[in-house]
Amino acid sequence: MGGATAFDAGEAVTGTQSELITLALNSGSSSLKFGLYRVSPSRTETLLSGMAESIGETRGNFCVLDSQGRTAMSDAASIPGQRDAIIRIGKLFEGSRTPAPAAIGHRIVHGGPKLRQHCLIDESVMQQLESATAFAPLHTPAALSVIRFAREHFSGLPQAACFDTTFHAGMPDVARVLPIPQKLRSEGIYRYGFHGLSCESILHQLGTAVPERLIIAHLGNGASITAVRNGQSIDTSMGLTPSGGVIMGTRSGDLDPGVLVYLLREKKFDAAILEDLIDHRSGLTGISGIGGDMRDLHDAASSNPGARLAIDMFCYSVRKQIAAMIAALGGVDLIVFTGGIGENDGEVRASICAGLSWAGINPGAVQEPAASRTPVKVLASQEDEQIARHTWALSLAR
């Protein structure tokens, strides 16, 4: 499979016990992002990164970027499954000058009620992940496939599970507990929160400049708003699953529970149809009728009322959640936008901020910090680097 020579190379490059070559794997339902990092106590250095896209489709793509973010390889070819993507990644380290990994970390969206802390993967962890699939059926099956194939291909390497829910594990009961019977709560039905690795990466980038009251708006195809007090999550918009909270690309976000009851009773929808509706046909896609990509909606907004409404509703939804988190924190010292939309869409950021002037936030705060009483920053979400750091720490602690 991977070959002992590649693994030996990774160990040789690390040199000292405090430095480790780490491979981060971030799986989606039809994609696999990866990054190779040299991690030490003081630095996380990117050696290469890339993505396998459109896995399982007729026309896929395998792209590799060098340490400077320049395209080193782009191959438009079919990638039948996650196993094939892992093999393609493994071949990068065979007979090349690229150091091979000495440890591998995986992004896991939801570990269920029993897995709330980042951990090394063994058979017990695999069993618990499998039992928690129902909490994130969009994400966990693909992640489990990647873990299995990575353990097979990179046999003998320590592999870590890094959870998006860990950052929110200490939320106070007033935010964590759902207003349902205690028996159901005891079975693990409560607010977990997600995008935790992204939030952790924001705190890492802020370093000693983390304020007392911070709001992180992770806005992408999936989106959530998190209130952070003194570096700790105290509330977040997503709940039991990544389907709740603000409007997203294809996910509805929060809905009146009566809507689901109505659809069950009057339309005879079953669980599978409801899940498809909530996760794949709602949100920006459902509102606009043309899709969930914000770039496409901007292009169509001038002539398509549905596209314009979708953008406006997204901004309105995010603005309301930011206001709610300001209330939870008793004020705000800094707002950070991150994620694909949060980082790249200035029009959306300005629209969100335009309704928050009462909180001292100026629509042009990113471009003109002095014009806003409350500072607003744009920082890149660095989930993969965060996975690498956690994997480094867990591997050295073995």
> DSSP labels for 63-103?
EEE-TTS-EEEEE-----SHHHHHHHHHHTTSSSSSPPPSE
Q: Are strands 376-378 and 334-338 parallel, antiparallel or unpaired?
A: parallel
Distance CA 337, CA 322 (A): 11
Long-range CB pairs of 36-39 (<8 Å, 24+ gap) are 36/98, 36/99, 36/101, 37/384, 37/385, 37/388, 38/13, 38/14, 38/99, 39/388, 39/389, 39/391, 39/392
Q: Which residues pair with 24 in a beta bridge?
A: 35, 105
**Beta-carbon contacts of residue 15 (< 8 Å; ≥ 6 apart):** none
Q: Are strands 20-27 and 103-108 parallel, antiparallel or unpaired?
A: parallel
Find the helix or strand (DSSP H, E) in which 25 lies.
strand 20-27
CB atoms within 10 A of CB 189: 17
Distance CA 317, CA 355 (A): 11
Catalytic residues: 164
Q: How large is the angle between the packed helices 257-266 and 271-280, nearest 10 degrees?
A: 140
Distance CA 87, CA 84 (A): 5
> DSSP labels for 300-316?
HTTT-HHHHHHHHHHHH
